[in-house]
Amino acid sequence: MILAIAVVGIVCLAGGYMIGSSTSDKEGAATIFAEGSTTVAPLMNKYAEIYEGYENVRIEVIANGSQNGVDAANSGNADIGMSSRNKGHSSHAGLTETKIATDTVVLIVGSNAGITSLTKHQIIDIYNGTITNWNQVGGNNATIVVVDRDQGSGTRSYFEESFASTTTPAKTLNSTRSWTSMAATGAVISYVESNPNAIAYVSLGSLTTNAEKNMALSLNMNNVEGSGTAVSPISDLSNYPLKRDLVLLTKGTPTGKIAMFIGWMLSPEGQKIAEEVGFLPL
């Protein structure tokens, strides 16, 4: 049986965690609230840190998943919703979308898996419970420990859309396991680093050290098993298949300080920052 682990974020706030907020006391400063994707949040936090030095604003960033970002933008509880779901995703209906960068989703494994690549069909079978031991895919004799994401995660949504098939639709990829807790990206990476038999999917931009990047697998996404070649997200990023949009959501066309902030993100300086953080610029 596959062991399913749901990793829980430690520092919580309103169902998520605050990863960045201004500590400066700016007289008359407006506050911009951004909420949502744990993938987008580190980039937004970096943007906030730099932009606050330019303008009389305070920017608070709450990371609690893409669906919460959608909900917060719709309700007006956040000025900006952060989503790692592709532009045009059905959940974004009624909101104004602004793509700020492109992310890469990678599969990572622990040190005892004994593999460096997987095919699309092998990944599907691991996540639907058909494959339960690493030796079934050419690895070591060890039970696979599957790390998953919560239902509101944009990364999970993209993963399921990428690996769904006519025989294994997205809704059944996770049907063999029971879990309820939400997992933040950083917590997932830390878990796989410490569990030698684990597998998970995360944003490439979240892998900041060489040791973390060495956990990333090459993928063969060919729909015909036994054909195609595996592509590395580290050495051949341009040909790696799993890429998605990072999107900001606003209720209507952004105006005033929010429009200025988003416009700056799209500027050459803002795009350079996105690249430095680990994402692909526009």
Provide the 10 A C-beta neighbour count for residue 279: 23
Predicted confidence band at 26 (pLDDT cuts at 50, 70, 90)? Answer: low
pTM of this structure = 0.87
Location of structure tokens 């960045």: 20
- Residue 271 domain boundaries: 17-102+246-277
pLDDT greater than 60 at residue 250: yes
Q: CA 110 → CA 165, 176, 184, 188, 252, distances in Å?
A: 26, 21, 18, 11, 44
User: Could you give the CA distance from residue 259 to residue 250 in angstroms, rounded to a whole number?
Assistant: 10
Let me know whether 120 and 235 are in one domain: yes
User: Could you give the CA distance from residue 132 to residue 122 in angstroms, rounded to a whole number?
Assistant: 11
Let me know whether 272 and 152 are in one domain: no
Let me know whether 127 and 182 are in one domain: yes
pLDDT greater than 90 at residue 17: no
Let me know whether 135 and 149 are in one domain: yes
Predicted confidence band at 107 (pLDDT cuts at 50, 70, 90)? Answer: very high
pLDDT greater than 60 at residue 183: no
User: Which of 31-40, 89-98, 143-152, 163-172 shows the lowest per-residue confidence on average (mean pLDDT)?
Assistant: 163-172
Q: Length of the chain in residues, anyone?
A: 282
Let me know whether 95 and 135 are in one domain: no
Cβ-contact 231, 219 below 8 angstroms: yes
What would you report as the CA-atom Rg of the chain, rounded to the nearest whole angstrom?
19
Surface-to-core class of residue 193, CB atoms within 10 Å of its CB (0-12 exposed, 13-18 middle, 19+ buried): middle
Predicted confidence band at 180 (pLDDT cuts at 50, 70, 90)? Answer: very low
Average pLDDT over all residues of the chain: 88
Let me know whether 116 and 177 are in one domain: yes
Q: Note the pLDDT of residue 83.
A: 98
Determine the average pLDDT of the residues in 130-138: 95
- The answer to whether residue 217 is domain-embedded is yes
Let me know whether 216 and 267 are in one domain: no
User: Which of 11-15, 42-46, 56-60, 146-150 shows the lowest per-residue confidence on average (mean pLDDT)?
Assistant: 11-15
pLDDT greater than 60 at residue 141: yes
- More confident of the two residues 216 and 178: 216
- The answer to whether residue 206 is domain-embedded is yes
| Number of domains the chain is built from | 2
Copy the structure tokens of residue 192.
């796989």
The enclosing domain of 120 has a CATH number of: 3.40.190.10
Determine the average pLDDT of the residues in 235-264: 97
User: Could you give the CA distance from residue 91 to residue 69 in angstroms, rounded to a whole number?
Assistant: 10
Let me know whether 165 and 206 are in one domain: yes
pLDDT digits (tens, 9 = 90+) for 44-65: 999 999 999 999 999 999 999 9
Let me know whether 233 and 151 are in one domain: yes
Predicted confidence band at 166 (pLDDT cuts at 50, 70, 90)? Answer: low
Predicted confidence band at 174 (pLDDT cuts at 50, 70, 90)? Answer: low
**3-class SS at 132?**
coil
- The answer to whether residue 282 is domain-embedded is no
Q: Note the pLDDT of residue 12.
A: 42
- The answer to whether residue 25 is domain-embedded is yes
Determine the average pLDDT of the residues in 156-170: 83
Let me know whether 111 and 231 are in one domain: yes
User: Could you give the CA distance from residue 243 to residue 245 in angstroms, rounded to a whole number?
Assistant: 7
Let me know whether 84 and 177 are in one domain: no
Let me know whether 108 and 235 are in one domain: yes
- The answer to whether residue 221 is domain-embedded is yes
- The answer to whether residue 218 is domain-embedded is yes
